[in-house]
């Protein structure tokens, strides 16, 4: 498990499904595109469901925009096909892995609404709601590998590495972005 980040991705069916899932989870506007508008819609939804105001709301909006810009790389709007092709081109490069690490950090920061360093179960429940992930308890338990009741940045990074680089069909992390797309 420790060497996932070094593994070469071979674009298996399970991997393609996972990447499609990411696209569908973030392209919330249902226009078939991932773009900044999708970021605005998603952040508005997230801010409202967390009841955030002022600086907290502003921070969340900025995080969403950062994540969306990183996910769409050089495009302003990206289709599912472009998204998958762009991932195939880049996933096995060191440059992409560095960017992905940044996206992961931004995502951790986004979920960590209360900014206390670790993600609590309550914070994760909000994120699960966004993902359409019903079983918060088992999701949280799978992520909390050190079993201390919070998700640390390391645990989150580990989950992202497994999700993006593992092609194991039975990995606990396959549902990191919610139920898998078909």
Binding site residues, Ca ion, CB under 5 A = 144, 146, 148
Cβ-based nearer residue to Ca ion, 58 or 116: 116
Identity of the residue, 89 or 141, whose beta carbon is nearer to Ca ion in the bound complex: 141
Q: What is the rounded CA–CA span in Å between residue 19 and residue 155?
A: 20
Minimum Å gap between C-beta 126 and Ca ion is 18
Tokens 């360093």 correspond to: 117
Residue 101 neighbours by CB under 8 Å, 6+ apart: 157
Residue 150 C-beta: closest distance to Ca ion, Å? 5
Rounded to a whole number of angstroms, the minimum distance from the CB of residue 153 to Ca ion is: 10
CB of 144 to Ca ion, least distance (A): 4
Q: Determine the distance from the C-alpha atom of residue 105 to the mean position of all C-alpha atoms in its chain, rounded to a whole number.
A: 10
Residue nearer to Ca ion on the CB measure, 109 or 144: 144
Helices 121-131/94-111 angle, 10° precision: 110
> How many Å apart are CA 39 and CA 149, to the nearest integer?
30
**CB of 168 vs Ca ion, minimal distance in Å:** 22
Burial of 54 (0-12, 13-18, 19+ CB in 10 A): exposed
Q: Find the shortest distance in angstroms from Cβ 164 to Ca ion.
A: 20
- Listed in sequence order, the DSSP H helices in the chain are 13-26, 36-49, 54-71, 80-90, 94-111, 121-131, 136-143, 153-165
Q: Which CB, 116 or 146, lies closer to Ca ion? A: 146
Could you count the other beta carbons within 10 Å of the beta carbon of residue 94?
Answer: 7
> Is 19 or 128 the residue whose CB approaches Ca ion more closely?
128
User: Residue 144 or 162: which CB sits closer to Ca ion?
Assistant: 144
């Amino acid at each position: 498990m420790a060497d996932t980040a070094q593994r070469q991705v071979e674009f298996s069916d399970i991997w393609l499904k996972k990447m499609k899932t990411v696209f569908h989870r973030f392209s919330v506007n249902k226009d078939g595109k991932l773009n900044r508008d999708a970021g605005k819609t998603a952040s508005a939804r997230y801010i409202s469901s967390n009841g955030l105001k002022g600086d907290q709301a502003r921070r969340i909006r900025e995080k969403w925009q950062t994540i969306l810009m990183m996910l769409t790389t050089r495009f302003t709007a990206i289709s599912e096909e472009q998204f998958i092709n762009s991932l195939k081109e880049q996933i096995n490069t060191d440059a992409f892995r560095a960017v992905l690490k940044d996206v992961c950090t931004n995502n951790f920061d986004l979920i960590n609404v209360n900014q206390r360093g670790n993600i609590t179960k309550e914070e994760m429940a909000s994120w699960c709601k966004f993902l359409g992930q019903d079983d918060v308890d088992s999701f949280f338990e799978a992520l909390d590998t050190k079993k201390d009741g919070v998700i640390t940045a390391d645990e989150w990074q580990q989950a992202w590495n497994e999700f993006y680089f593992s092609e194991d069909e039975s990995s606990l992390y396959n549902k990191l972005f919610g139920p898998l797309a078909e």
